[in-house]
Amino acid sequence: MAGLTLRARVVVTGLGPVSSIGIGVTAFRAALREGRSGISPIESFDAEGFPYRDAGEVKDFRPETYLTRLSPAAWGRSAQLAAAAARLAAADAGLPDDACADAGVVIGTTSGESQVVESLVAQQVAGGFAAMDPGTLRQFPAERLAAGVATELGLAGEVLTLATACSASNYAVGYAFDCVARGDADLMFAGGADSVCRWAQAGFHRLGALTESACRPFDKGRAGIITGEGGAVLLLENADHARARGARVYAEVLGYGVNCDARHMVAPDEDSIAACMRLAHQDADVKPDEIDYICAHGTGTPANDLVEARAVRQVFGERIPPVSSIKSMLGHTMGAASGFGAIATTLAIADGFLPPTINWTTQDDELPWIDPVPNVARPATVRIAQNDGFAFGGNNAITVFGAAR
């Protein structure tokens, strides 16, 4: 419990976004500021026969540009995205290659190496299980996401993949925060990765959760998600360690909250989400009226955004800070989603702006208290901000960041 144990301060010193709106922190920041859309027609699989054929694919991703140790041929796409994101975060933090040896990594994911699994499934359909290719099989375990990062950066610390679906990056950031705060490590890479795949496109369509082309969170006409992909990794560092090496500090991780609805596999729960926000605030030792910005889970489904907006009202009362969803730009990047949220929140604090909710046209009368920062980024002083992540299974995780002190 916060206050019962002595916790070291934890800061963010490196950012590594590999996204459909930009790769690397400079491109990603610029895209957030201009409200760029990363949604385009699907190319990673044959989308013939799917009613909706757009997704947030990272089409510019050339793994060999970023990876120095991993051979892309031997690793699945999700591991490549995670490793490239971590490589960018390490470079952004100014960490020399040999300074990472004691560091650990936590990568969150929804579907792990989904494209690898789909290759195996195709081999199985064509020739039975015996026809599966051993080289492809070696790439399939979900543990390979974190292992890919560790191999790329030469890490020898704690290396784990957390598969807690669409809040997985916040789980990863939270656990990494605990590891640094309790003194297990000075440096932890944390974030998430997922790849666009057929089964997600099919499954979300069947659940009625997909929209055709523009994802419009908090808009009256919102109709669902667009599937997306990417790798999002932050470097969390012990504050004293960062100071001693003269590192630039983007923001401080103040704390986080996690809980589980324990009611329904896919339907979100207002009271439980509100409880998670309170847990996060308590852990970070902040009051709701100190929070300047909420980087929403904001999937763009009618149910999620309504429930999230109501939970915000329940916790924040009369004074509700701006609430925007970067999923309007990226689509739903699944296990990477709250990692991108964490990066956007960190940049909002460090650079003084609110990322917009694009594609927004019409106020929803059911949630008039939400200011979604419509369409255009806004200059703002952001001292403390929260980053929401919710998931199938009722897994809620919310991280809280504050300005560097």
Partner 1 sequence: MSLVLTETPLAITSCGVVSPAGLGLEALERALRHGLETPAEPKESPDGYPPRPLWAIPDLGVAELLGRKGLRHVDRLTKLGLVACKLALEGAGEELDADARAHTGVVLATNTGSLTSMVEVGIDTLVQKKPYLVNPGNFPNVVTNACTGQIAIRNSLRAVNSVVSSGQAASLAAIRFARTAIEQGRASRLLVGGVEELSPAAAWGWHLSGALTEDAPIGEGCALFLVEDAEAVRSSGRTALAELLACEVAYQGLGTAREQGEGLRHCVERALERSGVSPGEVDAVCLSATNHWVRDQLEEWAVGEELGRPVPQVQVGEVLGELYSASGAMQVAALLARWREPARQPRIGLVTSMGEDGNVGCLVVREWR
- Closest approach of partner 1 to the CB of residue 1, in Å: 3
- Closest approach of partner 1 to the CB of residue 372, in Å: 28
Q: Which two tokens stand for residue 165?
A: 């679906």
Q: Is 332 a catalytic residue?
A: yes
> What is the size of the binding site for partner 1 (CB under 8 A)?
85
- Closest approach of partner 1 to the CB of residue 351, in Å: 30
Q: Is 297 a catalytic residue?
A: yes
Q: Which of residues 228-247 bind partner 1 (CB under 8 A)?
A: 238, 240
Distance, CA of 16 to CA of 66 (rounded, Å): 11
CB nearer to partner 1: give 73 or 265: 265
Site string for partner 1, 304-333 (x = CB under 8 A): ------------------------------
Q: Which of residues 153-212 bind partner 1 (CB under 8 A)?
A: 154-165, 171, 175, 178-179, 181-184, 186, 198-199, 201-203, 205-207
* Candidates 34-42, 47-55, 345-353, 366-374; binding stretch for partner 1 (CB under 8 A): 47-55
267 is a site residue for partner 1 (CB under 8 A): no
Distance, CA of 335 to CA of 333 (rounded, Å): 6
Given the residues 100, 179, 276, 332, the one annotated as active site: 332
| Contacting residue, 73, 96, 130, 319, with partner 1 by CB under 8 A | 130
* Candidates 24-32, 43-51, 287-295, 325-333; binding stretch for partner 1 (CB under 8 A): 43-51
The answer to whether the CB of 231 falls within 8 A of the CB of 16 is yes
| Contacting residue, 96, 129, 318, 319, with partner 1 by CB under 8 A | 129
Distance, CA of 257 to CA of 387 (rounded, Å): 11
* Candidates 18-26, 49-57, 211-219, 296-304; binding stretch for partner 1 (CB under 8 A): 49-57
Q: Which of residues 137-156 bind partner 1 (CB under 8 A)?
A: 137-138, 140-144, 146-147, 150-151, 154-156
- Closest approach of partner 1 to the CB of residue 265, in Å: 5
Q: Is 179 a catalytic residue?
A: no
Q: Which of residues 98-127 bind partner 1 (CB under 8 A)?
A: 104, 109-112, 117-118, 121-122, 124-125
Residue type, 128: G
Q: Which of residues 246-265 bind partner 1 (CB under 8 A)?
A: 258-265
Active site members = 166, 297, 332
